[in-house]
């Protein structure tokens, strides 16, 4: 089978038996997941369960100590072992990261750049794309998230919901294979949260590949094809959202959902 044929049939992201530790603290204890093209996966669980760490490992922002990460069938190359294991090919890392755009909890916009400049920056500097082409794409994506009228203002002049929508437009402007969301609504008050949820739902309806770490069970239930419940660094339960939220099998998931509803 050719590399191209293998890539077409392979999952966008595949994680096999991943282990991650910070010194003596083991955060991920053998986690596996598969995200196929057009699939939305939600990661849920209590604070400290390993959700955000798993997401950051997928994007190679964190080094893992054991297990495999594959992007469109291509395995990440490693050197060293255990706590000394790191990606061996920096060009491979850059290529994978540019195809897995990350949206962070705290927006991470550059304060000295306008919103349009924020969205254009990475395609210009990382991908070396044509400036006129990038500007047209940036305006298109800002329009998609509903803030094209804010092109010439600075991040501090926007609400939190608008800043997060700008961050989503910035991620989209890289034309990524998949989007990774790390608690995209947790820094927002409920009214602004709904602005961002509306955008994420629209992206899911377009058939975009996404992995979403979220505390919002309604969002996870509404947009996910597959939901994973992490507990103490392991997958406690996973499946279709209607199964997980409607008929949880494990006592720990039942307790988690009850506490979430009560909150």
Report CA Rg, the chain. Answer: 19
Q: How many domains does the chain have?
A: 1
pTM of the model as a whole: 0.93
Q: What is the pLDDT of residue 7?
A: 55
pLDDT over 70 for what percent of the chain?
96
Domain of 240, in residue numbers: 3-262
Average pLDDT, integer, range 54-62? 96
Q: Which H, E and C letters describe the chain, residue by residue? A: CCHHHHHHHCCCEEEEEEEEEECCEEEEEEEEEEECCCCEEEEECCCCCCHHHHHHHHCCCCCCCEEEEEECCEECCEECCHHHCEECCHHHHHHHHHHEEEECCCCCCCCCCCHHHHHHHHHHHCCCCCHHHHHHHHHHHHHHCCCHHHCCCCHHHCCHHHHHHHHHHHHHCCCCCEEEEECCCCCCCHHHHHHHHHHHHHHHHCCCEEEEECCCHHHHHHHCCEEEEEECCEEEEEECHHHHHHCCCCHHHHHHHHHHHHC
Predicted local distance difference test score (pLDDT) of residue 260: 85
Comparing 7 with 17, the larger pLDDT belongs to: 17
Kindly tell me if the per-residue pLDDT of 37 is higher than 60.
yes
Return the CATH number at 214: 3.40.50.300
- Per-residue confidence band for 263, with pLDDT thresholds at 50, 70 and 90: low
Asked whether the beta carbons of 66 and 19 are under 8 A apart, the reply is yes
Predicted confidence (pLDDT) at residue 3 exceeds the cutoff of 80:
no
The confidence score (pLDDT) of residue 153 equals: 97
Question: How would you classify the pairing of strands 178-182 and 209-213?
Answer: parallel
> Rounded distance, CA 36 to CA 47, Å?
26
């Amino acid at each position: 089978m050719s590399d191209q044929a293998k890539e077409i049939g392979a999952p966008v992201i595949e994680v096999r038996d991943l282990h991650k530790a910070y010194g003596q603290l083991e955060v991920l204890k053998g986690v596996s997941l598969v995200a196929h093209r057009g699939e939305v996966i939600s990661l849920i669980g209590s604070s400290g369960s390993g959700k955000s760490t798993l997401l950051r490992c997928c994007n190679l922002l964190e080094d893992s100590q054991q297990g495999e990460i594959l992007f469109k069938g291509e395995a990440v190359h490693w050197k060293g072992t255990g706590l000394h294991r790191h990606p061996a090919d920096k060009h491979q890392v850059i290529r994978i990261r540019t195809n897995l755009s990350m949206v962070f909890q705290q927006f991470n916009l550059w304060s000295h750049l306008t919103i349009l400049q924020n969205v254009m920056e990475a395609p210009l500097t990382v991908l070396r794309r044509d400036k006129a082409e990038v500007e047209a794409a940036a305006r298109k994506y800002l329009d998609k998230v509903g803030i094209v009228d804010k092109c010439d203002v600075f991040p501090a002049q926007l609400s939190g919901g608008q800043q997060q929508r700008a961050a989503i437009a910035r991620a989209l402007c890289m034309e990524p294979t998949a989007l990774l969301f790390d608690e995209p609504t947790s820094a927002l008050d409920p009214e602004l949260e709904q602005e961002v949820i509306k955008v994420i739902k629209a992206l899911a309806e377009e058939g975009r590949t996404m992995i979403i770490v979220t505390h919002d069970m309604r969002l996870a239930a509404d947009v996910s094809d597959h939901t994973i419940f992490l507990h103490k660094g392991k997958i406690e339960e996973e499946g279709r959202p209607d199964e997980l939220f409607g008929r949880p099998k494990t006592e720990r998931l039942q307790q988690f959902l009850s506490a979430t509803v009560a909150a």
